[in-house]
Amino acid sequence: MAKKYKRNKFRNWFQGAWGLVSNGYLAGFVKGHIWQGDSKSVCVPGLNCYSCPGALGACPIGSLQAELAAREVKFPLYVTGFLLAFGALFGRFVCGFLCPFGWVQDLLYKIPSRKIGTFKYDRLLRYLKFVVLAVLVVLLPALVKNAAGVGTPWFCKWVCPSGTLFAGIPLLLANPTLRAVVGFIFSWKMAILILILGLSVFLYRPFCKYLCPLGAAYSLFNKASFYRLKLDENACTHCGICKRACNMGVDPSKTPDDIECIRCGDCVKNCPTKALSAGFFTGKRKIHQGEDGEETQITE
Amino acid sequence: MKTAKRALPFLLLALGAGFLVLGIFGGEVAIVLSRAANICLECIGIG
């Protein structure tokens, strides 16, 4: 029987609470329409469809495509600004704590079943999310335009399972007018959603690992964000527990800033020597006192 | 090198803030708002 590792339960509750707060317009789910207030001009950090009936903010990936697809925008400064700010502050902490679709995948993975840790092309497939970001989110919306000079949000239209789950399904359930016009694209997106949700029972966060363009963008900040994982090399015994506890397949004792680390904190929780810590680091030196009373400086 | 590494998050945050301000003054807020405040048919699989 596989060993059970301690999990950060606070994270699940926090993710759920954040999802509720950022999708707090509950009347929208009943009436079948969306919130239209000014807060919709502000991007939320996670992949949270702005057409979700409860959404109070804008999805950064949807907004980025909207800007790139617009005739009048040469470079999407506004949304890039949000991505830079969220990335610099949090890196992929957003994936671990602030993304509602990540939360759904986390919950599905709790269903008892045989789990797939890794497989032959696991690491290679993780680069697919960068292709999705470059091609479906940036290049196609920016370059393929109609006669009026307006592009299409390719990722939203053909892939985004978060949009199908949090926007498509609730809106179609509550709004008969929209229900009357569904066609092939909705069926295609439902198939993607079902595939990803089904896989999530056996494989930890398949969408985040292989397809999410927002995770790809934030992963570039993991080495340079304020929120970081820190390793005290003097305290680390290289026992490998952190690596085995990590559902994302990261070895924090070797690469605490790995682009795949979603900062869930499970490695910190399971480290027997407290060699790992997570938090907002600004490069200030910290003093760690070992069990023998010896002091060790932990620096950048 | 260490100083540069420590400064990087501050630089990125400042760059992000700068882009945000430029975007606001460039009228990009209205583009995002108009997109986000109306049902996106592509997002829900209709468009």
Q: What domains are there in chain A, each with its CATH number? A: 9-219 (no CATH), 228-298 (3.30.70.20)
pLDDT tens track for A184-208: 999 999 999 999 999 999 999 999 9
Beta strands in A166-258 (DSSP E): 227-231
CA dihedral for A14, A18, A19, A21, sign (positive or negative): positive
A53 to chain B nearest CA, in Å?
A: 9
Q: From first to last of its 300 residues, what are the pLDDT tens digits of chain A?
A: 457 899 988 999 999 999 999 999 999 999 999 999 999 999 999 999 999 999 999 999 999 999 999 988 889 999 999 999 999 999 999 999 999 999 999 999 999 999 999 999 999 999 999 999 999 999 999 999 999 999 999 999 999 999 999 999 999 999 999 998 888 999 999 999 999 999 999 999 999 999 999 999 999 999 999 999 999 999 999 999 999 999 999 999 999 999 999 999 999 999 999 999 999 975 544 445 555 555 554 544
Check A58 against B36: CB less than 8 A apart.
yes
- Taking CA–CA distances from A38, the nearest residue in chain B reads B33
**Which helix (DSSP H) or strand (DSSP E) does residue A253 occupy?**
none
Q: Does the ipTM surpass 0.90?
A: yes
DSSP class of residue A4 equals: P
Contacts of A135 (CB under 8 A, 6+ apart): A154
Q: B interface mutation test: which of A72, A84, A193 has the most B CBs within 10 A?
A: A84
Nearest to A206 by CA among A62, A100, A109, A71: A109
B7 to chain A nearest CA, in Å?
A: 9
Q: Do A29 and A174 form a contact (C-beta atoms < 8 A)?
A: yes
Check A84 against B29: CB less than 8 A apart.
no
Phi, psi of B5 (to 5 degrees): -65, -40
pLDDT tens track for A79-134: 999 999 999 999 999 999 999 999 999 999 999 999 999 999 999 999 999 999 99
Helix-helix angle B28-36:A77-90, to 10 degrees: 80
Q: Do A144 and A236 form a contact (C-beta atoms < 8 A)?
A: no
The residues spanned by each domain of chain B are: 2-36
Check A50 against B26: CB less than 8 A apart.
no
Which tokens sit at A131?
């292709």
What is the CB neighbour count within 10 angstroms for residue A128?
Answer: 15
A248 class by beta-carbon count within 10 Å (0-12 exposed, 13-18 middle, 19+ buried): buried
Residues 139-168 of A with CB under 8 A from B: 152-153, 156-157, 160, 163-164, 167-168
